[in-house]
Amino acid sequence: MRNCKYILDPADLQYKRVHLPWKKKILRFLFWFGLSVAVSSGYFKVYENYFGSPKEKLLGQEIENMKLKYSLLERRLGDATRSVAYLQQSDETRFRPILNLEPVPSSYRNPGYGGVDRYREFSGLTYASLIVSSLEKVNTLVNMTKVQEESFKDIAERRDQWIDEFEHTPWICPVDVSIPRGDGIKLREVHPVLGTTRWHFGQDFSCPYGTQIYATGNGKITVAGWNSDGFGNHVIIDHGYGFRSIYGHLSKIEVPVGLNVKRGDLIGLSGNSGTSSGPHLHYQVDLYGNHQNPMHFFTDDLSQEDYLKMITVLSSRSKLR
């Protein structure tokens, strides 16, 4: 048989089968088994060196996926940073200059971190540069966003103040724009009633008797009654922000002292009371006690129809409030 071994016995010249002891059989088995294991291990090491193990391949794929995710994250962070930078530019070149706000200091927008290694815990990692780069961009974006949020709060607050100031400034004509103008601010060599030289500190409107007179800005009625110095029946509105407006020679007053009025509210009717040569409205604007030219506070570009539409809208808003 192929697996059996025979030797020639010289004594009787016959081939006899050789029977190995069990110890030799076990040793032979262990030898060949060990040899097989060694050869297999050698082949496996060679394969690993050239092709890598399945576990290494899996880890390598995970690393590549991680690098791709970090790359996409940095791209998104870059887009977000550019968007916030655009808001910063609009903040500095548009909103703040228009609202007379000081620019945000560069040291506040770009704070330094000298002497501190903020990312020391990642220094021993293989791909630490990827993590640190992303964290730096995240921290930069967070700081930019916080600063911009605070800046927008300042802008919103100043905007509300500006709107309030605009609403309180006497910006419209107190009567229908179709009504002819009389004397403006000037030195009258001969006063039409007194006959003496006297300054005229407002703008006269040649209103027919009973013409409706409107508040030219939001404010509080501080005077509503007779004036012995020449204005006759008159109304004074304190608009705040240093402004006050005066409406003189009225035939009727429609508002009491202490009332808060809105731009476009009816405050009285024109007349001929006080020192007056005929029915008209004397309109005066003062800023911190200095007389201003009322003609600088409204436009003549409106038509009569547009003016009346404006008064209607303003009156409706006032009622809604």
The residue that leads in pLDDT, 186 or 134, is 134
Look at residue 80 and tell me whether its pLDDT is greater than 90. no
pLDDT band at 169 (very low <50, low <70, confident <90, very high): very high
Structure tokens at 72: 């996409």
How far apart CA 253 and CA 269 sit, in angstroms, is 7
Question: Of 111-125, 126-140, 168-182, 248-262, which one has max mean pLDDT?
Answer: 248-262
- pLDDT given at position 191: 52
- pLDDT given at position 285: 95
The residue that leads in pLDDT, 114 or 158, is 158
Question: Pick from 147, 139, 166, 71: which is nearest to 106 by CA?
Answer: 147
Mean pLDDT score, 163-167: 92
Question: Pick from 222, 219, 188, 220: which is nearest to 202 by CA?
Answer: 188
Mean pLDDT score, 169-193: 76
Burial of 18 (0-12, 13-18, 19+ CB in 10 A): exposed
**DSSP-assigned beta bridge partners for residue 252:** 269
The residue that leads in pLDDT, 112 or 73, is 73
How far apart CA 236 and CA 218 sit, in angstroms, is 12
**Window from 83-92, 193-202, 232-241 with minimum mean pLDDT:** 193-202
pLDDT one-digit tens code per residue, 272-304 = 998 887 899 999 999 999 999 998 888 777 788
- pLDDT given at position 263: 93
